[in-house]
Amino acid sequence: MCKNFKIALCQTMVKDDKVYNLKKALEFIEEAAVNGANIISLGEMFICPYRNDVFKEYAEEEEGSITLKAIAEIAKKYNVYIVAGSIPEKDGDKYYNTAYVIGKDGNIITKHRKMHLFDIDIKDGVYMKESDTFSYGQNITMFDTEYCKVGVAICYDMRFPEIFRIMVQNDVKLVIVPAAFNNVTGPAHWDIIIRNRSVDNQIYFAAASPARNYDETYLAYGHSSVCNPFGEIIGQLDENEDILYCDIDLNYLEKVRTELPLLKHRRLDIYGINTKK
């Protein structure tokens, strides 16, 4: 098993224009692949503005999806894994905020439907009610690679530590989270959550955001980040378009787990909940 590999987080600018957004995503993926990335992630809703009034208009069914076809082709061309940020998925009369994972052969390996929908109302801050459009995903999502098992969640999901502990119990060593925090909760919570999820679970944690578009009502925080298993942020962008590259070193992860054996020291006999594999 290869213990070292490179991930790239593509922080693209998202406009109210699907053709533009897809073209931009493909350009960034191509650049990341040429620069040696093995696993590439796009941000949450890289294909459409983060707004309830446009989600249904931008939504695609899995079968026949133009976006997925293009991402699959580029994954195969460059022999890379792609966590295709998220897109609005239409399934019958339901809609989901969905991250597709595409394998090196261009096939869909799995998909994560956002489990926790972002329904919040911070006075004079930010209002969002995703459940006006989307239905709840029902599954924790993990997939195997030749490097390690990888977990996938979407944005608000990252606030719920239970799912990452379950992932770790299933041997996940890297979590990738397409996300789009905002200019209120981003400065307050983004770094803390990323570092907490990493340090508690002794995993690499990568969060990929869209860039900030000042023409939009929802101002994405940007700041795509990667944190190592010791809780140190080893790479972070600002709010502008860019690609973040980070080397993942699983020997380092083992070193951290050996020197500070938190996972071994858990009192699973006492906690009594969520301890099953």
Q: Which residues are catalytic, by number?
A: 44, 114, 155
Check residue 181 for interaction with ligand AKG (CB under 6 A): yes
In the bound complex, what is the minimum distance in angstroms from residue 219's beta carbon to ligand AKG?
Answer: 11
Give 182 or 198: the residue with its C-beta nearer to ligand AKG: 182
Number of residues that bind ligand AKG (CB under 6 A): 10
Q: What is the DSSP string of the chain?
A: ---EEEEEEEE----S-HHHHHHHHHHHHHHHHHTT-SEEEEPTTTTS-S-HHHHHHH-B-STT-HHHHHHHHHHHHHT-EEEEEEEEEEETTEEEEEEEEE-TTS-EEEEEE-SS--EEE-TTS-EEEGGGTPPPP---EEEE-SS-EEEE--GGGGG-HHHHHHHHHTTEEEEEEE---BTTHHHHHHHHHHHHHHHHHT-EEEEE-PPP-TTSSS-B----EEE-TTS-EEEE--SSSEEEEEEEEHHHHHHHHHHS-HHHH--HHHH-SS---
Give least dist CB 180 to ligand AKG, A: 5
Assess 155 for contact with ligand AKG (CB under 6 A).
yes
- 196 is an interface residue for ligand AKG by CB under 6 A: no
Q: Kindly tell me which residue out of 159, 230, 231, 275 binds ligand AKG, with binding defined by CB under 6 A.
A: 159
- Residue by residue, what is the 3-state secondary structure of 178-212? ECCCECCHHHHHHHHHHHHHHHHHCCEEEEECCCC
Binding mask 69-108 for ligand AKG (x = CB under 6 A): ----------------------------------------
Q: Is 26 in the site for ligand AKG (CB under 6 A)?
A: no
* 134 counts as binding ligand AKG under rule CB under 6 A: no
185 contributes a contact to ligand AKG by CB under 6 A: yes
Q: Give the separation between CA 131 and CA 115, rounded to whole angstroms.
A: 11
**Shorter beta-carbon distance to ligand AKG: residue 58 or 181:** 181
Stretch that binds ligand AKG, among 29-37, 55-63, 155-163, 200-208 (CB under 6 A): 155-163
Smallest gap from residue 87 Cβ to ligand AKG (A): 13
118 scored as a contact of ligand AKG (CB under 6 A): yes
Q: Measured from the CB of residue 215, what is the shortest distance to ligand AKG in angstroms? A: 18
Segment contacting ligand AKG by CB under 6 A, of 52-60, 87-95, 177-185, 198-206: 177-185
Contact range with ligand AKG by CB under 6 A, out of 152-160, 168-176, 247-255, 265-273: 152-160
Residues that bind ligand AKG (CB under 6 A): 44, 118, 155-156, 159, 180-182, 185, 189
